Structure 1
Amino acid sequence: MNDPAQKREFDLGALLAERGAERYELHTKFLNHQLPRMLHTIGFDKVYERAEGAHFWDADGNDYLDMLAGFGVMGLGRHHPVVRQALHDVLDASLADLTRFDCQPLPGLLAEKLLVHSPHLDRVFFGNSGTEAVETALKFARYATGKPRILYCSHAFHGLTTGSLSVNGEDGFRDGFAPLLPDTPVPLGDLDVLARELKKGDVAALIVEPIQGKGVLEAPPGYLRAAQELLHKHKALLIVDEVQTGLGRTGDFYAYQHEEGVEPDLVCVAKALSGGYVPVGATLGKDWIFKKVYSSMDRVLVHSASFGSNAQAMAAGLAVLSVMENEQIVAGVRATGERLKSRLEALVDKYELLSDVRGRGLMIGIEFGRPKSLKLRSRWTMLQAARKGLFAQMVVVPLLQRHRILTQVSGDHLEVIKLIPPLIIGEQDVDRFVEAFTAVMDDAHSGGGLMWDFGKTLVKQAVANR
């Protein structure tokens, strides 16, 4: 037996107890130094001690509502007991994982379960992230078609590694990292531009988010189906990026399934697939594409990932899909999302600074716009002159500071807040958010108070960073 008094070789709890208070200093010194600086500037430099479901708690026991879900990875909330138990079980099983010269059962079982939700697709490649899933799709599309060029949509976000950055529609992410791959932006929903590019004969694929994460912009009705027909006519592929929209987020298992007849050639999945516990990504595709890429035994490792298909990620994925089925997560998202969206839509006519509420399921965008009244319009103009997106930041900050609700601005220079909470939030969480958001809007429309004072601070910061 181990002597309780004997010092452990590595004690994580003791390390965190001893050094946890240094978290912001450690990031400033050894990691991205701009992160703690940014968090301090906007008052987001909180110290969260624990989390469960859709809630955090700080050292004083204050409860925070999470409407961000770790950028969408925490689909089932934090520390779901079924996923947590699956990880304990797989570690206790002492599997011969990642030998690389055998075929473990878990990847095959997870692929089988995933493909049930996309019956027109046949095979899966497992990587470690959404950007890897996109990189895989880009490589497979170019090899399968023999063509070099990928089309992507303006304002798209598909990741930040070099290949996925090439199909990123935001210049702020691309600046300084050229030259990238030979790829071309097309407006989301514009079939004429798509057809014109396809006629050039060198397009391998179009990659598209059914609902863009940046701005929460949905593809127009009928666009995906029509684009698919155009692409196939020109022997090009449709790649659908479901990294954020997939696994129930929009009220269907995949967001492309809201439109009848859409059957992508390749689908990218990640984020919520492991319940937020383990990095994971998956690229689902048609049989002929995989067989063309892996055309011989010599090409068996032509595309692979060192940690791809690892046992922890596969076990977590299987547990997540089991929970989604057993707890009817997708149906719950439809009901809760409708409650949240309808209550927010009812506020549009009440507040002149609120211009639109859009999205599906539990992926909702709240957009702000130029007010009509002279007093508010002058303040709005001041913010816009300094930097577009400052008003949305002015809303996000009091939601956290005064109401303990974590949200995010939906992209650089956008006056949009994106709500992507854990899919398990309930009616009380919806009511809490709407009441808090209403209070913040009341304050903003009063024309004074702390909110506009904070706006002046943001303006000074924006001007200083130019």
Structure 2
Amino acid sequence: MTSSEPTDTEPAQREAAAAAGQPDGVPNGAPDASDTRPKGFDLATLLAERGAERYELQARYVNHQLPRMLHTIGFDRVYERAEGAHFWDAEGNDYLDMLAGFGVMGVGRHHPVVRKALHDVLDAGLADLTRFDCQPLPGLLAEKLLASTPHLDRVFFGNSGTEAVETALKFARYATGKPRVLYCTHSFHGLTAGSLSVNGEEGFQDGFAPLLPDTAVPMGDLDALARELKRGDVAALIVEPIQGHGVYIPEPGYLRAAQELLRKHKALLICDEVQTGIGRTGKFWAYEHEEGVEPDLVTVAKTLSGGYVPVGATLGRDWIFKKVYSSMDRVLVHSASFGSNAQAMTAGLATLSVVEDEQLVENSQAMGELLRDRLAALVGRYEMLKEVRGRGLMIAIEFGRPKSLGLRSRWTMLQTARKGLFAQMVVVPLLQKHHILTQVSGDHVEIIKLIPPLVVDEADVDRFVTAFTAVMDDAHGGGGLMWDFGKTLIKQAVANR
């Protein structure tokens, strides 16, 4: 039999090839000159073909409750692109971002300086993450960060704010030899097991016990702090200089007095600046608002990422780091697989350059003061507007029980169903009618938190105040659309009980 003669097995091979999607007569893996389909990964094609499935994909494979929640409150929009403090939906509508991705977009979305820097570091083809060399970028970013905190000496780089907090907790315990960390009620420090142990919001802890044996003390209560310190087992107090959930600011002098008590008992002060750091409050660090405060450990993330690459950092005193890394045997006693990667370090360096060059700390102070003053001027005008507070571009708008009978009955109806519904009723028309994205500041609170990108300008401030005024006019005038939506939220709240 010659090679040109057919065999009995060829039809079966062709059928098998066809069933496998292979061209007729082409062995598995062999190239086919007639196949013109693009090879490799093509992001644009993938998004064009599958992007419209975004909510279905989330519901099926990720968090099924997220699209459900977004649909309920009318937030299930399709956003196409973003720049600075704005983004646009599929219809080309311009939205003002007063949320900044929970503070991540500090320098705005797709800042050209950060974007170019990331292109540059990818093009450089660095020998990154060998783990057995010392690359220059981590040292350069550490040097830049420490220039803003002259009393601190060293930096550990992780991948998130939560990792930065975990690092601080571990370092404080090891350096002091004590097991317990104090934290403030109503605080938020992360959702991993360690950071959850110092989370002052019980709703986040529910069902995840047992946690670490840490203890909450009321923010501002120095007597409670002193009582716990006298037990002799406290490694540190971790505190947000301004609490993110609700934007609560401690009384003047609290941080300084707490620092003195901690030092007296050989315990450390940890300042969690994951959200407040790098200009958010009108100072580079929020603890700088109080003279003489020099925390032993500082955590930072969010803005440091430039909105692109996750990065977290824990800054600390030299003696703490030297105690943790006390010998060559302990060189990897605390590490992170992706920590100090070139993209994250470049994003951090570029972001700090933008913050400095564009004077974003100063802009945060100026625009924050303008926004806060204009909103505070409305407090006497609206019964349900209780208070406006904050520092820099970290502002809380708190609502409260009205005095007039008609509004009070509606308020009571909402509170009976679920506390926090009125704030949600304000957030929804701000998005749906005025195309402004905001958030309710935590569960069961009547507070809206504003944390826009630090690049917002006077036109953005004016747009928000104008829209907020219109929503409050509608609420106090008995506007049908707003209160009708309130009924929808009530039904949802009752159904979820």
User: Shorter-chain-normalised TM-score: which range?
Assistant: over 0.9
Q: Which has the larger radius of gyration?
A: 2
Which of 378, 397, 411 is 1:380 aligned to?
411
Partner AA of 1:99 in structure 2: T
SS in 1 for 2:298: strand
Correspondence for 1:447: 478
Q: Does residue 168 of structure 2 align to residue 171 of structure 1?
A: no
Correspondence for 1:154: 185
Correspondence for 1:229: 260
Partner AA of 2:72 in structure 1: T
- 1:447 Cα deviation from its structure 2 partner: 1.9
Partner AA of 2:315 in structure 1: L
Counterpart mapping for 1:16-55 below 5 A: 16-55=47-86
Partner AA of 1:455 in structure 2: G
SS in 2 for 1:332: helix
- 1:7 Cα deviation from its structure 2 partner: 1.6
RMSD value over aligned CA atoms? 0.7
Correspondence for 1:419: 450
Partner deviation per Cα, 1:102-158 (whole Å, 9 max, x = no partner):
000000000000000000000000000000000000000000000000000001000
Partner deviation per Cα, 1:324-361 (whole Å, 9 max, x = no partner):
11111111111111110000000000000000000000
- 1:6 Cα deviation from its structure 2 partner: 6.7
Correspondence for 1:200: 231
Task: Give the aligned length.
Answer: 462
Partner AA of 1:144 in structure 2: A
Q: Does residue 315 of structure 2 align to residue 284 of structure 1?
A: yes
Correspondence for 1:93: 124
Partner AA of 2:320 in structure 1: I
Correspondence for 1:72: 103
**Distance (Å, rounded) in 2 between the aligned partners of 1:200 and 1:387:** 40
TM-score, L = length of structure 2:
0.92
**Distance (Å, rounded) in 2 between the aligned partners of 1:220 and 1:275:** 32
Counterpart mapping for 1:42-441 below 5 A: 42-441=73-472
- 1:448 Cα deviation from its structure 2 partner: 3.5
**Distance (Å, rounded) in 2 between the aligned partners of 1:46 and 1:172:** 28
Partner deviation per Cα, 1:389-413 (whole Å, 9 max, x = no partner):
0000000000000000000000000
TM-score, L = length of structure 1:
0.99
**Distance (Å, rounded) in 1 between the aligned partners of 2:180 and 2:62:** 35
**What percent identity do the matched residue pairs reach?**
83
Gaps of 5+ in 2: 1-35
SS in 1 for 2:51: helix
Partner AA of 1:124 in structure 2: V
Partner AA of 2:388 in structure 1: V
**Distance (Å, rounded) in 2 between the aligned partners of 1:338 and 1:202:** 42
Partner deviation per Cα, 1:357-395 (whole Å, 9 max, x = no partner):
000000000000000000000000011011100000000
- The list of structure 1 runs, each at least 4 consecutive aligned residues, that deviate by more than 4 angstroms after superposition, is none
**Distance (Å, rounded) in 1 between the aligned partners of 2:407 and 2:312:** 45
Correspondence for 2:8: none
Gaps of 5+ in 1: none
- 1:15 Cα deviation from its structure 2 partner: 0.2
**Distance (Å, rounded) in 2 between the aligned partners of 1:19 and 1:447:** 43
**Distance (Å, rounded) in 1 between the aligned partners of 2:443 and 2:139:** 40
- 1:8 Cα deviation from its structure 2 partner: 3.5
Partner deviation per Cα, 1:286-318 (whole Å, 9 max, x = no partner):
000000000000000000000000000000100
Partner AA of 1:122 in structure 2: D
**Distance (Å, rounded) in 1 between the aligned partners of 2:175 and 2:464:** 47
